[in-house]
Structure 1
Amino acid sequence: MINEIYDVIVVGGGHAGCEAAAAAANLGSKTLLVTMNMQTIGQMSCNPAMGGIAKGQIVREIDAMGGYSGIISDKSAIQFKMLNLSKGPAMWSPRTQNDRMLFAEEWRIALEQTPNLDFFQDMVKEFIIENNKVCGVKTSLGLSIKAKSVVLTNGTFLNGLIHVGEKQLGGGRMGEPKSFGITEQLVSLGFEAGRMKTGTPARIDGRTLDYSKMEEQKGDENPQKFSYSDTPKITRQLSCHIAYTNEKVHDILRTGFEKSPMFNGTIQSIGPRYCPSIEDKINRFADRNRHQLFAEPEGWRTVEVYLNGFSSSLPEEVQIQAMQAIPGFENAKVFRPGYAIEYDYFPPTQLNHTLETKLISNLYFAGQINGTTGYEEAAGQGLMAGINAHLKINEKPEFILNRDEAYIGVLIDDLITKGTDEPYRMFTSRAEYRLLLRQDNADIRLTEKSYKIGLAKADRLKNVTEKIDKSNELEEYLRQTSLKPTVINPLLESIESSPVDQAYRASQILTRPNITLKTLESITILKENLDKYSEEVREQAEINIKYKGYIEKEKVNVDKLNRLENIKIAETFEYLNIPSLSSEARQKLTKVQPKTLAQAGRISGVSPSDINVLMIYMAK
């Protein structure tokens, strides 16, 4: 195998690497996954959960295109919750609590059953590059493995440095060595590199916790799942528990500040703003006398517990002492202290939208190497990098998702256009068309696109087509069915909604804010027909009817945006020669080299007046 020339080599076996390898192999590329440790493929390095606000939408999108993350999450789930149900459907976000060991096992099994995919355990320390084109990799064993393209997904391993108080350990994850050589080579080739920081909480022996002093947090009564395929729904669930810090906990934590690498200057890189360490929380929010924590089980057959919200790099004795001041944790024993980790990343403005680097042809970056944080963000990038690596070497058109098509499109466009100097995390607020990018319609948005490039299978497309047809059928039935006052008023009065004095279509009644299809089931003539449709179809029809006006308004805004997306900018465009542009705009546009006028308008520092100047100049 070492003498073979691979189509795609994927470096790294984390979430990005797994999705990249699966995508490239399933598209038909002869693929090699090189990882430093075959036993940690698909490892959940931080919290044992998938999805969440906006992240759940990404998992659904990956699944809709034929990726594996949704399937693996369903098979290893120990709890399911749909978040934000009290808000509109654009905010609904699925999340699973997962069995950490089972999650990694299912990833390993899925990849080993993927045709065209080989594995090799070794550390990649250098690229083989000829004429500014990557041609393979060199490993720590001194092996040279040839390839037509390479996808780099090193996570936190590039020159990783672990911090626990004043102690420092080289590593990409606790107990695992760092990767070195790649950063140095890429910098010598002209790449810009930086450092980022992330952290993780202590792992605790669940047998030593008193859950009676915490608030139980159960999963949904009728749990759903991530995958649009036939993965089984979870039938039993484990509870999480909510605990709270207090002033005593905070006082103990403060005693370790002088030895904190965050506060004594040892760590200078920037960590994730939206997932701060516990010491950062009590420092930044000194007026708060408590912070919420979640005790999350790590799996069906382990007593290990993850304390979400208690990420820390303080000395281990301070972490333990402070933890034991939390109600329910008085006798807590720690399996492993929390730690912070610094690692190399490459500002993503050095990439094209395909995630191919601008400097080296056929070299792709995906995951935390691009400055993101989170399993889901990494997996989405890995999927897209694997797809585009395959398409490029086969001389096929690139595959890019627009901002109105997917959260993955928003993620990549943000990275490429705006860059990031802190770990990037996806939120629903980052998507200007989030009502179109709901978790329930990811298959409708993306499966056909993926099928056309050969990734999503025919049975997936058949299921989507049936879902659309059934949804349209149900919508039409509700629009045509008339309900007389004598039929509908008893229901309206029972839920304190204004009665009607004439017949109304069922669809009109459904647009009332306190009416759902579930509510209308109490009407006998409706229930018989509603029972014919699956829960998925009913949800789709209900959202389309309730939010029709808002959805159409967003589509109009998308059409306006697409006009600018259709105005292409030549790669040879000389921004420095346009004096009417602001100085900052000339610099930013020259650095990013946007492909379209719409992308140019999203670059930080480029004003609407700069875009007008470009439009006038291009019109001439």
Structure 2
Amino acid sequence: MDFKYDVIVIGAGHAGCEAAAAAANLGSKTVLITMDMNKIAQMSCNPAVGGIAKGQIVREIDALGGGMGIVTDKTAIQFRMLNRSKGPAMWSPRAQSDRAKFINEWRGILENTNNLDIWQDFVKQLIIKDGQVQGVISGMDVTFYAKTVVITTGTFLNGLMHIGKTQLRGGRIAEPASYGITEQLKEAGIATDRMKTGTPVRIDGRSVDFSMTEEQIGDFDFHKFSYMNHAPKTLCQLSCWTMYTNEQTHEVLRSGLVDSPLYNGQIQSIGPRYCPSIETKIVTFADKTQHQLFLEPEGETTQEYYLNGFSSSLPLDVQLNALKTIPAFRNVRIYRPGYAIEYDFFDPTQLKHNLESKIVKNLFFAGQVNGTTGYEEAAGQGLIAGINAHINCHGGDEFILNRDQAYIGVLIDDLVTKGVDEPYRMFTSRAEYRILLRQDDADMRLTEMSYKLGLAKQDRFDLLQTKKEEINRISEFAKNYSIKPQYINEGLEKLGTAPLKHGCKLIDLITRPQITLENIAELVPAFKEELDKTSDRKEEILEAVEILIKYEGYIQREKLIADKINRLEHIHIKGKFNYNEIHTLSTEARQKLCKIDPETIAQAGRIPGISPSDINILLVLLGR
């Protein structure tokens, strides 16, 4: 039997859910093919969303009209804003979610999305003719024809799990791997390799001595992921718990290294540098006598806990004996051990910035198949792939985010320009324009462009407009309202800041570090009255105003830098050079420019190994 669609999405992980929902919401007839409808948006590793830089990505997904932020808010059992002691460019939201409720919430969204069908099956073959994908054939021998296909298969392509010397074929524990697609894409000329990731032991909370741990309580303020006007924290809020390994723990772990797949040659693939296994930690940081661990709840009612920091592929007995050396776990019982998993990924430099393959037309890739790690990185790619798959079907300009517009733009540009030599994880340090890419203003950056595209709906756009109006109203009042010393100095001294010698505008006081909008409003009744006019999102809006006022100089300076760089983004070079014939370029530059075939001068400058002199040569040849 045959079916016809505009967009086929293979795999219902975090990338697949966003891709399918985006394409369908934009009007494409879409089918999402998944092996198990009960594992849609499964949190394969930690049941947490966000974190350093990752939280910014989730807010961007939400600002664009994606689902991850809303689902996380509705299923959160703890929320924290990380890095509050630093500047707002570093603030990063993070939430623990109820794993089961997260799945149910996403499934409910997808099953009630117009233009979207779900098919429970696996894909065994792509239909590729004349360098263009035309559909897929499922395990049940059902043929799906489509104008575009999005591959979001995560760790399932030729997945192989390791627990000591035991090897299990599968994409996740107790779930089968997928075969055939990698081999077919190799034949089509797409380069592939293997990566490795891992996950920790799952612990029965009834066996934990919590008196030997330190409690980590979440935040209970207004912050959440979604900009939509819904109530956050509807579930019971739970604590996380911290503890440390010790020298005895490390001794037990070292005794098992001979049987570790990471050190006995069993695993040859590329592993993550920034989320290493516990056995990698004790080898790499041999001088450290302890490593911090985080015990995190898997749900509102379950006794299952995730031991963050104890990812491992060591034999079961080694993992268990090592845990028992930690006082909180001396009587520990577990649901299952940690394991490592190897899987296929595809070189992302073979993609365009819209995540379409340069080799097979109308074929898109998103998520871990592009060499990334993390739910948030996957979801961000999935959203962009889904949008562009729709555009490929119905026409229009490619939807591409620049590096000064979004962390998602940084992520995709890094992938397609630099490639990966280890699982890619987003950090704030990867972004040149961190003060422009704050978590508080993702809606100000992205919602209007998504609304014009048709993904962000009217209610979201109206909320943005209201927020802009409120911010402008309060900012203008602060710029124009005059303060006289005799009315304010006593209050300023109580706040620990210097008294005025002469009058000034209110905005000049707000720039002082000791001053907040709320404490200065107590000294200036007219300003308090102005703040009280604010809508029911008062805290969010006041935070935005305060950041814009206090950091205006930094923001403007970074905008100027971004504008200068963006001039190079508009100098297009794709198809204008035969790089092999430009012998004034270095050999490395010729090789890498041929491989990447950059769209612009700016992208060429970001390719590792391309020097400023190489860029100058290209500019001279362009007549610049």
Q: TM-score, normalised by structure 2?
A: 0.98
Runs of 4+ in 1 over 6 A off after TM superposition: none
SS at match of 2:440: helix
Corresponding residue for residue 394 of structure 1: 394
Q: Aligned residues: percent identity?
A: 61
Corresponding residue for residue 188 of structure 1: 187
Q: Does the 8 Å contact 2:222/2:539 carry over to 1?
A: no
C-alpha distance after superposition, 1:33-78 (max 9, x if no partner): 0111111011000001001111111101111111000010011000
Alpha-carbon distance in 2 for matches of 1:243, 1:257: 23
Q: Does the 8 Å contact 2:147/2:393 carry over to 1?
A: yes
State the 1:531 CA deviation: 2.5
Question: Which of 594, 601, 605 is equivalent to 1:601?
Answer: 605
Alpha-carbon distance in 1 for matches of 2:222, 2:245: 30
Corresponding residue for residue 584 of structure 1: 588
Alpha-carbon distance in 1 for matches of 2:576, 2:188: 22
Q: Does the 8 Å contact 2:10/2:16 carry over to 1?
A: yes
C-alpha distance after superposition, 1:514-539 (max 9, x if no partner): 22223323315132222222112111
Q: 1:447-462, aligned counterparts within 5 Å?
A: 447-462=447-462
Q: Does the 8 Å contact 2:61/2:69 carry over to 1?
A: yes
State the 1:118 CA deviation: 0.6
Q: Does the 8 Å contact 1:75/1:231 carry over to 2?
A: no
Q: 1:49-448, aligned counterparts within 5 Å?
A: 49-234=48-233, 236-448=236-448
Larger CA deviation: 160-169 vs 493-502: 493-502
State the 1:571 CA deviation: 2.6
Structure 2 residue ranges without an equivalent (≥5): none
Q: Does the 8 Å contact 2:252/2:318 carry over to 1?
A: yes
Alpha-carbon distance in 1 for matches of 2:35, 2:487: 67
Alpha-carbon distance in 1 for matches of 2:177, 2:78: 33
Corresponding residue for residue 611 of structure 1: 615
Q: Does the 8 Å contact 2:222/2:540 carry over to 1?
A: no
Count of residues in Structure 1 that have an aligned counterpart in Structure 2? 619
SS at match of 2:229: coil
State the 1:11 CA deviation: 0.1
State the 1:465 CA deviation: 1.3
Q: Does the 8 Å contact 1:347/1:421 carry over to 2?
A: no
State the 1:572 CA deviation: 5.2
Aligned residue type for 2:98: D
Corresponding residue for residue 9 of structure 1: 8
Alpha-carbon distance in 1 for matches of 2:205, 2:40: 25
C-alpha distance after superposition, 1:568-608 (max 9, x if no partner): 11335311111111110111011001101000000011111
SS at match of 1:499: coil
Aligned residue type for 2:586: S
Aligned residue type for 1:500: L
Q: Does the 8 Å contact 1:80/1:223 carry over to 2?
A: no
Alpha-carbon distance in 2 for matches of 1:243, 1:110: 38
Aligned residue type for 2:440: D
SS at match of 1:328: helix
SS at match of 2:317: helix
Corresponding residue for residue 529 of structure 1: 530
Alpha-carbon distance in 1 for matches of 2:356, 2:413: 13
Aligned residue type for 1:513: P
State the 1:462 CA deviation: 1.4
Alpha-carbon distance in 1 for matches of 2:576, 2:27: 34
SS at match of 1:619: coil
Q: TM-score, normalised by structure 1?
A: 0.98
Query: RMSD of the TM alignment (CA)?
Result: 1.1
State the 1:489 CA deviation: 2.2
Q: Does the 8 Å contact 2:162/2:261 carry over to 1?
A: yes
Alpha-carbon distance in 1 for matches of 2:487, 2:94: 39
Q: Does the 8 Å contact 2:3/2:143 carry over to 1?
A: no
Alpha-carbon distance in 2 for matches of 1:47, 1:261: 22
Q: Does the 8 Å contact 1:74/1:233 carry over to 2?
A: yes
Corresponding residue for residue 41 of structure 2: 42
Corresponding residue for residue 24 of structure 2: 25
Alpha-carbon distance in 2 for matches of 1:532, 1:329: 53
Larger CA deviation: 462-471 vs 344-353: 462-471
Q: Does the 8 Å contact 1:246/1:289 carry over to 2?
A: yes
SS at match of 2:134: strand
Aligned residue type for 2:170: G
Larger CA deviation: 234-243 vs 409-418: 234-243
Larger CA deviation: 124-133 vs 350-359: 124-133
C-alpha distance after superposition, 1:332-372 (max 9, x if no partner): 10001000000000010000000000010000000000000
Alpha-carbon distance in 2 for matches of 1:316, 1:43: 24
Alpha-carbon distance in 2 for matches of 1:515, 1:280: 46
Alpha-carbon distance in 1 for matches of 2:62, 2:308: 26
Larger CA deviation: 459-468 vs 151-160: 459-468
C-alpha distance after superposition, 1:371-418 (max 9, x if no partner): 000000000000000000000111211100000000000000000000
Alpha-carbon distance in 2 for matches of 1:312, 1:278: 6
Aligned residue type for 2:206: R
Corresponding residue for residue 559 of structure 2: 555
Aligned residue type for 1:537: I
Aligned residue type for 2:530: N
Structure 1 residue ranges without an equivalent (≥5): none
Larger CA deviation: 484-493 vs 68-77: 484-493
Alpha-carbon distance in 1 for matches of 2:563, 2:576: 27
SS at match of 2:223: coil
State the 1:452 CA deviation: 1.1
Aligned residue type for 1:199: G
State the 1:223 CA deviation: 4.5
